[in-house]
Every structure is written in structure tokens, then in C-alpha cells.
Amino acid sequence: MSVQLEPTGSLAPAKQRRFFSRLIKERKMALVGLVIMGTLVLLGTVGPDMIDMDTPAGMWTERMWMEPVTENPAVGATEVWEFYNTTGDAHPMHVHEVVFEVVNREGLVPDSLAEGLVVLDGVITLPEPSETGFKDTVIAYPGQVTRVRAQFKVPGQYVWHCHIVEHEDNEMMRPFRIGPVQLGQPPEPPPM
């Protein structure tokens, strides 16, 4: 499905958010910094996700590189991807295959982060002048959700990841798939 949209930033923030949420699937991903079994886990989802529909809304779950795909846009779908940065660092987030527009950023309530929850504080920031137009990488600042909008046109299996090499090499990378599993693509592992 292809959706024609108002240009980024042309609506008031609250109206903009309602407009997007009516039309477009939102996916909520988390940037997390946890050590589990000696491994630094740096990406995840904000529940519920495709692996665990029982995760309470707003609670994040760390997801390893080898876990099944949690982002599976339909071919031709336009989606808003939300990067919830619960860490203390800024991360340049890169999505393969697509170009995207930066929609906006919104603050997260710090006390909730300490409890494993993301709660929006309602303070919305529009993209910087240098962030207009199509991008393939966006900086996700700490304590904020960064929203981007993309159309996923080409079926296949790709990755999204932080572009800091030390981070992407340490679990800050996840697979995603556009459309159904195709011949030659890695089979879906069972949920861990």
C-alpha cells in the first residue's frame, strides 16, 4: 500500500503524530545497553513485538542478532520506525535498502527508563535543517525516541544497525525482512 503524506514538519506536532498513527504502521525499537551472559546487548524492541505479543506496551526487550526477525514490513508498505534510545550515548542508526525521512524526536521520562519502560514526555523536536530530505542514517540521541518514515519496496532480508563499528560488532545490529521469506534467505530460527 502506498500512502501520500503531508511533508515532514508541515503539521503541528500533536496533529502530525495523530495523522501518522492513523495511516501508517509504527514499529518501536529499543537501543539498550545491558550485559547478559557476558555479552553486551544493544538492540531490542518495545513491546509487544512479533516474537512475544504478551510483552506489556512500553516495556523494552533486548533482542540478539540471532533471534527471529521482529520487523517485517509488507512489500510497498510505508512505516514509521521509532528508535527509543534508553542508553547514555547517541547512536547513528542506519537502515539498509531504504531511504527515510526524519519525522521528529520526542523526550522520554527518565524515571520510567530506570524501570525498563519508555514513557513519552510530550516534548517534540522537529528535524534539524540538515535532516530534511531523504537519509539512510539518523542520530538517535539519548533519552529520546527518534522517528523516521520509509517505504519498503524491495522484498528481501536486510539489516538495521548502529553505524559505530564497535557497537554494530557487539549486537547492535538486527535483521529485518520486507515481505515473505524467500528462497535462499536464512531460515527463521526458533524463538530463544
Sites of contact with Cu ion (CB under 5 A): 91, 162, 164, 167
Closer Cβ to Cu ion, 91 or 149, answer by number = 91
Closer Cβ to Cu ion, 89 or 97, answer by number = 89
What CA–CA distance (Å, rounded) separates 46 from 83?
9
CA end-to-end distance (rounded Å), the chain: 32
What are the grid coordinates assigned to 118, written together?
519508555
CB of 32 to Cu ion, least distance (A): 11
Closer Cβ to Cu ion, 54 or 166, answer by number = 166
What are the grid coordinates assigned to 17, written together?
503524530
What CA–CA distance (Å, rounded) separates 5 from 55?
31
Positive or negative CA dihedral for 118, 124, 127, 129?
negative
Closer Cβ to Cu ion, 27 or 167, answer by number = 167
What CA–CA distance (Å, rounded) separates 164 from 55?
29
CB of 192 to Cu ion, least distance (A): 23
Look at the block and give the residue holding cell 498513527. Answer: 21
CB of 33 to Cu ion, least distance (A): 9
Closer Cβ to Cu ion, 17 or 91, answer by number = 91
Q: Quickly list DSSP for 81-102.
A: EEEEE-SSS-EEEEESS--EEE
